[in-house]
């Protein structure tokens, strides 16, 4: 089986539409083809995220449709005298209602809560307001999150925007995702099935489940206690998954120190360590950090499309898709995909990985394809490529811009390849200004 056929079967598998025998053929191909495995993983993640994101709306839509049908049946004539066209009318009405409910424009967005400024102590004896006790704020959640204060034995649901005191136990159900903001600026994300105690803004005890910590810089270290070990953040971002027999630490940025059972070790950025009985049993390099933290994607989507972290993740995923295309397919095969490949290839060209010497030919091919297939919605991405370090990439971008806009600012495409960047900078700025004035005339990117 070739990769073209495999991609078709991957899509059919996700839709549960494989013919008998095709599943085994696909699995055999995926065992031998890393590129198709990567594509299959990415598509399945996207499919699962979309189903999770729309599940509440879909269920609400079905419930409302059923109620509407029940009311319509009550007010209709008896079944003996009911016209034949009435069931069709009811089905059409229910379908229309379902569509309206699923895509209703008045659906409220999840509110993210800003972190309040911390209170500054005043001198003793002053008549200022008493110091506010530091708290945690539940900023984002897809379902109910439960908390139990240290002085009580009752679990209660926490609402988005609600503050909880330190010392509080928190737990999430199997499909619950949430994010807490501490007063020091740190953000702690919880996966489903997690149990922990917020001892303070800089100290947590994780007994079960998974968290991702984005740590704000502060004089006091940020620590997470797990069974028989303590993880101290030396950088800013790490993921911890606490299982029954082991804890998996993945460092996304910076580094961490792991202490336990009289041992100490540092885990660096891009590494994952397995902690057993307080000691690091194994450390390995993580090839795909996006895959390692994909469980947080739904939280990012809840924050809205303008969220910078979400935009960065999307760009990284697009770059990986673009890299897969230029690694698996030849140029003519990619061109047959049409303008659907323009944005992934653009993000691949902009990625650090494409700049390696061994990827020079792939990058040049991607730039040629982008220049030939780019549509008017591609104009802002082409302007971004005018600032690339590679003159060949700049040339292809300028060639596409001339074709789409009939504009050159007295700078022909070949000059973008031959001239120094210092001499091109002014024209690049003109392109940026032109886009701000004219972008309302062009379609938005899909």
Residue range 97-112, pLDDT digits in tens? 444 444 443 344 444 4
Domain presence at residue 403: yes
Q: Are residues 156 and 280 in the same domain?
A: yes
List, for residues 185-240, the tens digit of each pLDDT value: 999 999 999 999 999 989 999 999 999 999 999 999 999 999 999 999 987 899 99
pLDDT at position 376: 92
List, for residues 74-104, the tens digit of each pLDDT value: 444 444 444 444 444 444 444 444 444 444 4
Q: Are residues 311 and 433 in the same domain?
A: yes
Domain presence at residue 336: yes
Q: Are residues 375 and 276 in the same domain?
A: no
204 Cβ neighbours under 8 A, 6+ residues apart = 188, 196, 197, 198, 211, 213, 223, 224, 225
> How distant, in Å, are the alpha carbons of 171, 213, 225, 238 from that of 247?
18, 15, 11, 13
Q: Are residues 342 and 272 in the same domain?
A: no
pLDDT at position 122: 39
- Of 237, 272, 292, the residue that ends a domain is 292
pLDDT at position 325: 84
Q: What angle do CA 281, 225, 300 make, to 5 degrees?
A: 95
| 3-class secondary structure, 54 | helix
Q: DSSP strand E in 269-372: where?
A: 271-276, 279-285
Q: Are residues 265 and 406 in the same domain?
A: no
Q: Is the pLDDT of residue 116 over 90?
A: no
- Please name the helix (run of DSSP H) or strand (run of DSSP E) that holds residue 136, with its range, or none: strand 135-141
Q: Are residues 333 and 353 in the same domain?
A: yes
Q: Are residues 139 and 284 in the same domain?
A: yes
The domain total for the chain is: 3
Domain presence at residue 286: yes
Which range of 21-25, 68-72, 273-277, 291-295 scores highest in mean pLDDT? It is 273-277
Domain presence at residue 446: no
Q: Are residues 287 and 310 in the same domain?
A: no
Q: Is the pLDDT of residue 126 over 70?
A: no
Q: Are residues 88 and 168 in the same domain?
A: no
Range of the domain at 201: 135-292
Domain presence at residue 124: no
Domain presence at residue 427: yes
Q: Are residues 348 and 372 in the same domain?
A: yes
- Of 56, 78, 102, the residue that ends a domain is 102
Domain presence at residue 55: yes
Give the pTM: 0.56
Q: DSSP strand E in 215-337: where?
A: 222-226, 229-233, 237-242, 247-253, 255-260, 263-268, 271-276, 279-285
pLDDT range class, residue 420, cuts 50, 70, 90: very high
> How distant, in Å, are the alpha carbons of 39, 270, 353, 401 from that of 323?
11, 20, 9, 23
Q: What is the mean pLDDT of residues 116-137?
A: 50
Radius of gyration over every alpha carbon of the chain, rounded to an integer in angstroms:
27
Q: What CATH number corresponds to the domain at position 158?
A: 2.60.120.1440
Q: Are residues 161 and 273 in the same domain?
A: yes
- Of 292, 326, 351, the residue that ends a domain is 292
Domain presence at residue 78: yes
| 3-class secondary structure, 355 | helix
Cα–Cα distance for residue pair 155/150, rounded to 1 Å: 11
Q: Are residues 190 and 245 in the same domain?
A: yes
Q: What is the mean pLDDT of residues 123-145?
A: 68
């Amino acid at each position: 089986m070739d990769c073209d056929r495999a991609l078709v079967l991957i899509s059919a598998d996700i839709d549960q539409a494989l013919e008998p025998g095709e599943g085994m053929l696909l699995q055999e191909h995926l065992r031998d083809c890393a590129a198709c495995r990567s594509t299959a993983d990415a598509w399945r993640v996207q499919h699962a995220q979309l189903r999770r994101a729309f599940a509440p709306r879909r269920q609400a839509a079905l419930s409302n449709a059923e109620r509407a049908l029940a009311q319509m049946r009550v007010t209709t004539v008896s079944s003996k005298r009911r016209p034949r066209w009435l069931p069709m009318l009811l089905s059409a009405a229910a379908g229309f209602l379902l569509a309206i409910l699923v895509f209703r424009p008045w659906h409220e967005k999840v509110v993210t809560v800003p972190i309040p400024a911390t209170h500054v102590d005043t001198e003793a004896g002053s008549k200022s307001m008493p110091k506010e006790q530091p708290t945690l704020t539940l900023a984002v959640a897809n379902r109910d999150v439960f908390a139990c204060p240290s002085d009580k034995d009752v679990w209660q649901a926490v609402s988005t925007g609600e503050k909880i005191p330190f010392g509080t136990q928190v737990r999430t159900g199997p499909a619950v995702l949430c994010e807490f903001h501490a007063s020091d600026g740190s953000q702690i994300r919880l996966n489903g099935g997690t149990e922990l105690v917020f001892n303070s803004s800089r100290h947590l005890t994780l007994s079960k489940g998974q968290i991702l910590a984005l740590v704000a810089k502060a004089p006091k270290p940020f620590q997470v206690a797990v069974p028989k070990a303590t993880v101290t953040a030396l950088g800013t971002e790490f993921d911890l998954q606490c299982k029954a027999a082991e804890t998996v630490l993945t460092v996304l940025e910076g580094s961490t120190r792991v202490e336990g059972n009289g041992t100490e070790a540092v885990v660096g950025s891009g590494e994952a360590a397995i902690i057993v009985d307080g000691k690091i049993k194994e450390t390995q390099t993580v090839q795909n950090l996006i895959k390692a933290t994909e469980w947080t994607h739904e939280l990012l989507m809840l924050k809205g499309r303008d969220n910078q972290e979400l935009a960065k993740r999307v760009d990284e995923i697009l770059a990986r898709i673009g890299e897969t295309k230029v690694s698996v397919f030849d140029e003519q095969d990619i061109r047959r995909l049409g303008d659907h490949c323009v944005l992934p290839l653009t993000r691949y060209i902009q990625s650090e990985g494409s700049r390696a010497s061994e990827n020079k030919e792939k990058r040049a091919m991607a730039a040629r394809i982008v220049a030939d297939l780019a549509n008017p919605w591609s104009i802002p991405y082409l302007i971004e490529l005018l600032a690339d370090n590679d003159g060949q990439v700049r040339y292809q971008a300028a060639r596409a811009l001339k074709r789409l806009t009939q504009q050159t600012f007295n700078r022909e495409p070949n000059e973008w390849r031959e001239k120094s960047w210092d001499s091109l900078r002014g024209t690049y700025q003109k392109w940026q200004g032109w886009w701000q004035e004219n972008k309302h005339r062009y379609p938005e990117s899909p």
